[in-house]
């Protein structure tokens, strides 16, 4: 069978570090053969609703002919022009201008990367260039938040604060510091005001402990994604942004997941009412059709680097920075968002949250949280004590498999959290099916953990 031989070839030759390095007893890869809208088809011709938009990225949904056409047309006309040096092409220039117009505040300068990790990685260098240009090169310490994910390049993984990314391999991350996550469900503090005050105090204490003149920047996801869709209390992001301003350190919003309609508006920072100094995006930028990320720089960051580092060669860029085909795709995807997808995503997101809230009375559901088309439920065996599912349930695999059997692709996190990030094009019926299928998975798990 096609799928069996592919699974075997994959096992032998294609490295997926997350699973392959666990040894060959790891279960085989699942093969997808096609997709349309919010539905994917597997090698057995079964159709499943993709409740996770690939890897939180196919925001516009699958199979948009206009996107395919935009890519094909760009390939015919000019498949490549380097964005590394001063050679340009129309599509990335137009895209940068369109994005700058829509970005919060004065985030007017765009650097295109290949994805999220190298966007974050690039910001680490830009931040260093910024402080160098300001005559403060000693500012080389960075702070991020526990449970945060900022990519898996070597530097980005340093900011990432999830187990398994750099523990135990001796990679040096002495420049990296973390503060606790707000993780409201498991936070011993009860009110939003208390949680916000504690985070601000912890950030300030951390800066003091490192030495205020040494801290370069604070990185944060407006909603922590890979940590388990952890939504901060209202006002938390703004309070952290204000604290950074007060202390004179740069604030970087990592919107790789939350950007491009995932939480409702084009950028989550808009609804948090903040303008970061730098912002990273990827995923929804091209909706996963081709790789691309974008770093947004505010006027003052850009101008400081341009003036201060001007005399020095700033050797940064990739062969595929500002790739014309990716840019052509992103331009088309932007049209789709504004031609109704953002609006549909907002309606579908409200329906998703309502549906998931309806699962709150299930004996296994301890918490329901999210915003827009980004949501999670957290499973527990005892609601009062918030007891996590036992490791024997292996939430990351067993629950994922069960959902798959029900025709639903979700992300199941190790702690027993189901994450949802469906394409913004989902119909209301598809949203209802996502919720119904989830309930079936929960019932089955209750009967047979």
| Contact footprint for ligand PMP (CB under 6 A) | 115-117, 120, 149-151, 221, 225-226, 254, 256-257, 282
Structure tokens at 345: 């995503």
Give least dist CB 373 to ligand PMP, A: 15
Nearer to ligand PMP, 120 or 348 (CB): 120
Nearer to ligand PMP, 226 or 298 (CB): 226
Structure tokens at 84: 């590394």
Residues 326, 57: contact at Cβ < 8 Å?
Answer: no
Nearer to ligand PMP, 157 or 353 (CB): 157
Give least dist CB 184 to ligand PMP, A: 18
Nearer to ligand PMP, 241 or 402 (CB): 241
Give least dist CB 364 to ligand PMP, A: 26
Q: Which residue's C-beta sits nearest to ligand PMP?
A: 116
Residues 102, 138: contact at Cβ < 8 Å?
Answer: no
Give least dist CB 116 to ligand PMP, A: 2
Nearer to ligand PMP, 111 or 132 (CB): 111
Give least dist CB 448 to ligand PMP, A: 32
What backbone torsions phi and psi does residue 387 show, to the nearest 5 degrees? -70, 120
Give least dist CB 4 to ligand PMP, A: 29
Nearer to ligand PMP, 92 or 225 (CB): 225
Nearer to ligand PMP, 225 or 345 (CB): 225
Give least dist CB 372 to ligand PMP, A: 15
370: β partners: 375
Give least dist CB 120 to ligand PMP, A: 5
Give least dist CB 85 to ligand PMP, A: 24
Nearer to ligand PMP, 265 or 284 (CB): 284
Give least dist CB 57 to ligand PMP, A: 8
Query: Distance (Å, rounded) from C-alpha 49 to C-alpha 47?
Result: 7
Three-state secondary structure of the chain: CHHHHHHHHHHHHCCCHHHHCCCCCCCCCCCEEEEEECEEEECCCCEEEECCHHHHCCCCCECCHHHHHHHHHHHHHCCCCCCCCCCCCHHHHHHHHHHHHHCCCCCCEEEEECCHHHHHHHHHHHHHHHHHHCCCCCCCEEEEECCCCCCCCHHHHHHCCCCCCCCCCCCCCCCEEEECCCCHHHCCCCCHHHHHHHHHHHHHHHHHHHCHHHEEEEEECCCECCCCCECCCCCHHHHHHHHHHHHCCEEEEECCCCCCCCCCCCCHHHHHCCCCCEEEECHHHCCCCCCCEEEEECHHHHHHHHHHCCCCCCCCCCCCCCCHHHHHHHHHHHHHHHHHHHHHHHHHHHHHHHHHHCCCCCCCEEEEEEECCEEEEEEEEECCCCEECCHHHCHHHHHHHHHHHCCEECEEECCCEEEECCCCCCCHHHHHHHHHHHHHHHHHHHHCC
Nearer to ligand PMP, 173 or 214 (CB): 173
Nearer to ligand PMP, 83 or 116 (CB): 116
Give least dist CB 259 to ligand PMP, A: 9
Classify burial at 91, counting beta carbons within 10 Å of its beta carbon; exposed 0-12, middle 13-18, buried 19 or more. buried
Nearer to ligand PMP, 221 or 367 (CB): 221
Signed CA dihedral, 41, 47, 52, 56: sign only: positive
Structure tokens at 396: 């990351």
């Amino acid at each position: 069978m096609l799928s069996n031989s592919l699974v075997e070839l994959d096992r032998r030759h294609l490295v997926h570090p997350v699973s392959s390095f666990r040894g060959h007893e790891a279960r085989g890869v699942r093969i997808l053969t096609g997709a349309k809208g919010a539905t994917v088809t597997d090698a057995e011709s079964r159709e499943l609703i993709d409740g996770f938009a690939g890897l939180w990225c196919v925001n516009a949904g699958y199979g948009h002919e206009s996107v395919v056409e935009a890519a094909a047309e760009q390939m015919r006309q000019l498949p490549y022009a380097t964005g590394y040096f001063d050679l340009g092409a129309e599509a990335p220039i137009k895209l940068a201008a369109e994005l700058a117009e829509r970005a919060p505040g004065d985030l007017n300068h765009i650097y295109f990367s290949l994805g999220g990790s190298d966007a974050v990685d690039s910001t680490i260098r830009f931040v260093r260039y910024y402080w160098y240009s300001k005559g403060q090169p000693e500012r080389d310490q960075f702070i991020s938040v526990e449970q945060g994910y900022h990519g898996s390049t070597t530097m980005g993984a340093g900011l990432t604060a999830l187990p398994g990314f750099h523990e135990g391999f001796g990679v040096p991350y002495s420049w990296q510091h973390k503060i606790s996550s707000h993780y409201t469900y498991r936070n011993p503090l009860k009110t939003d005001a208390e949680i916000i005050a504690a985070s601000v105090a912890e950030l300030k204490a951390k800066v003091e402990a490192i030495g205020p003149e040494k801290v370069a920047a604070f990185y944060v996801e407006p909603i922590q994604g890979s940590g388990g869709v952890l939504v901060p209390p209202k006002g938390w992001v703004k309070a952290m942004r204000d604290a950074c301003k007060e202390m004179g350190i740069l604030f970087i919003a990592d919107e790789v997941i939350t950007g491009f309609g995932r939480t409702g508006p084009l950028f989550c920072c808009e609804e948090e009412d903040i303008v970061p100094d730098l912002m990273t995006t990827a995923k929804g930028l091209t909706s996963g059709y081709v790789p691309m990320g974008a770093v947004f720089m505010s006027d003052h960051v850009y101008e400081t680097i341009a003036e201060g580092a001007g005399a020095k060669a700033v050797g940064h860029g990739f062969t595929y920075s500002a790739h014309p085909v990716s840019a052509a795709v992103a331009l088309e995807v932007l049209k789709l968002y504004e031609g109704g997808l953002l609006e549909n995503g907002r309606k579908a997101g409200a329906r998703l949250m309502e549906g998931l809230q309806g699962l709150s009375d299930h004996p296994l559901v301890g918490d329901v949280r999210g915003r827009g088309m980004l949501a999670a439920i957290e499973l527990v065996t005892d609601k009062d004590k918030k007891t996590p599912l036992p490791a024997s349930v292996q939430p990351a695999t067993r629950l994922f498999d069960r959902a798959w059997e029900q025709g639903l692709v979700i992300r199941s996190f190790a702690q027993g959290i189901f994450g949802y990030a469906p394409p913004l094009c989902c119909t209301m019926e598809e949203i209802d099916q996502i919720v119904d299928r989830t309930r079936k998975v929960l019932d089955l798990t209750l009967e047979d953990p």
